[in-house]
Amino acid sequence: GPVQPPDLTKCHLATDAALQNQVYCCPPYSVETTTQIYDFKLPDPSEPMRTRRPAHDYGQQNLEKYKAALTAMKGLPLDHPWNFFQQAQIHCAYCQGAYGQVGYPDVDIQVHQSFLFPPWHRFYMYFWERILGKLINDPTFALPFWQWDDPVGMQFPDIYLDPNSPLYDVHRNLNHYKTLMDFRYARGDPNPNSSDYPKIEGMNLHLINRIFREGLRTPSTFMGEPVVAGQVPRCPGQLQLLHDTIHQWSGPETSPFWDMGNFNTAARDPIFFGHHANVDRMWHLYRNFNGGNVEFKTKDWLDATFLFVDENNRVVSDSLDAEKMRYTYETEQLKWWNIPK
Ligand code: C2O
């Protein structure tokens, strides 16, 4: 059967991926919130659409809103479920083993390395975006996406680089500032020479093109392999693998690779959400290329369920039948779509 939501009362210590240390990342939900779990409801169709725009072309006004919202989020009491740090802890909890599966206490819930990767992160960002909008009273607030599938986005976007901005994070690979990202990057690689940029940009575009071409034939190639309750997921899709490289490229090169290079802490860097908005956009494009078809029609996918705290501070349980979530992506020209093999 499908992976079930965690029993919040049984949250336990998790493990930092690099240090193999025990870490605490259970949510600060109150007893009342956890005994009353709401079913996810799609937003009302009359709600305004949130249009996510590229980070390199986000617009000054949007940036000011984003900064205000993040400042508010970072200023919440540390035990508030919307607090920036607590929101990052959600990622730790679902990825570093804070929850044993109901019925399989020795198998932790893990939302990477399988077909749960795209939908879990979709919900995660969906609530993050709505909470931020709520904090500034703006129902149109929409996240930027880090458009690394276009040469203009194959570097850290400027909005994340201002040390005085709440979008900044000190735990990054400073050596990669203002350099081109190579999708073949592995930790320790030297920066490419600028004379090689055109070639690397071309190879990056080809890689995305190939991920889509191959993935369109087989959803599990793109999304990740199916996983069921009680099973340890081990087969990430091509989308996750590319995403992993970008995490490593963003984070520092030395252990424990905080923030972006380690699942424990990755979401403590605001760029995480720009990165994942683009991962989500890749899935959005993938589905459009597939004529809007849902990738997996099995209950194991459609009924896999997670728990998040929403913008009304309620714990909601989400399964994957969600559509019409009232956000979309600005349409961009896709430089990788029509390129010859
Ligand atoms: Cu849950 Cu980018 O990883």
Nearest in space to 135 (alpha carbons), one of 88, 86, 69, 75: 69
pLDDT at 321 (0 to 100): 46
Closest atom of ligand 1 to 275 CA is 2
Residue 101: both structure tokens together: 């599966």
Q: Is the CB of 266 under 6 A from ligand 1?
A: yes
Measured between alpha carbons, how far is 176 from 143 in angstroms, rounded to an integer?
A: 23
Instruction: Work out the pLDDT band at 276, boundaries 50, 70, 90.
Output: very high
Nearest in space to 50 (alpha carbons), one of 138, 124, 120: 138
pLDDT at 36 (0 to 100): 83
pLDDT at 314 (0 to 100): 81
Q: Is the CB of 112 under 6 A from ligand 1?
A: yes
Closest Cα to atom 3 of ligand 1? 263
Q: Which residue matches tokens 């072309």?
A: 57
Q: Which residue has the higher pLDDT, 29 or 155?
A: 155
Whether cis (ω within 30° of 0) applies to the bond prior to 166 is no
pLDDT one-digit tens code per residue, 71-92 = 999 999 999 999 999 999 999 9
CATH class for the domain made up of 8-329: mainly alpha
Cα 313 to ligand 1 centre (Å): 23
pLDDT at 323 (0 to 100): 53
Q: Which residue matches tokens 């730790």?
A: 92
Q: Is the CB of 122 under 6 A from ligand 1?
A: no
Cα 331 to ligand 1 centre (Å): 24
Closest atom of ligand 1 to 244 CA is 2
Cα 110 to ligand 1 centre (Å): 11
pLDDT one-digit tens code per residue, 5-24 = 999 989 999 999 999 999 99
Measured between alpha carbons, how far is 55 from 53 in angstroms, rounded to an integer?
A: 6
Contact 330, 53 (CB under 8 A): yes
Q: Residue 50 pairs with which residues in a beta bridge?
A: 327
Least confident of 93-107, 175-189, 244-258, 322-336: 322-336
Largest distance between two CA atoms of the chain: 60
Q: Is the CB of 91 under 6 A from ligand 1?
A: yes
Measured between alpha carbons, how far is 82 from 62 in angstroms, rounded to an integer?
A: 21
Contact 191, 170 (CB under 8 A): no
Measured between alpha carbons, how far is 33 from 183 in angstroms, rounded to an integer?
A: 42
- Domain residue ranges in the chain: 8-329
Contact 329, 50 (CB under 8 A): no
The kind and range of the H/E element at 122 are: helix 117-135
Nearest in space to 24 (alpha carbons), one of 259, 255, 264: 264
Measured between alpha carbons, how far is 18 from 255 in angstroms, rounded to an integer?
A: 6
Which amino acid appears at position 91 of this protein?
H
Give the residue numbers marked as catalytic: 91, 112, 121, 243, 247, 263, 276
Pairing of strands 37-39, 315-318: parallel
Q: Which residues contact 224 (CB under 8 A, 6 or more apart)?
A: 113, 114, 115, 116, 117, 118, 233, 235, 236, 237, 239, 240
pLDDT at 334 (0 to 100): 95
pLDDT one-digit tens code per residue, 153-202 = 999 999 999 999 999 999 999 999 999 999 999 999 999 999 999 999 99
Measured between alpha carbons, how far is 116 from 122 in angstroms, rounded to an integer?
A: 10
Q: Is the CB of 244 under 6 A from ligand 1?
A: no
| pLDDT at residue 271 greater than cutoff 80 | yes
Check: pTM over 0.90? Answer yes or no: yes
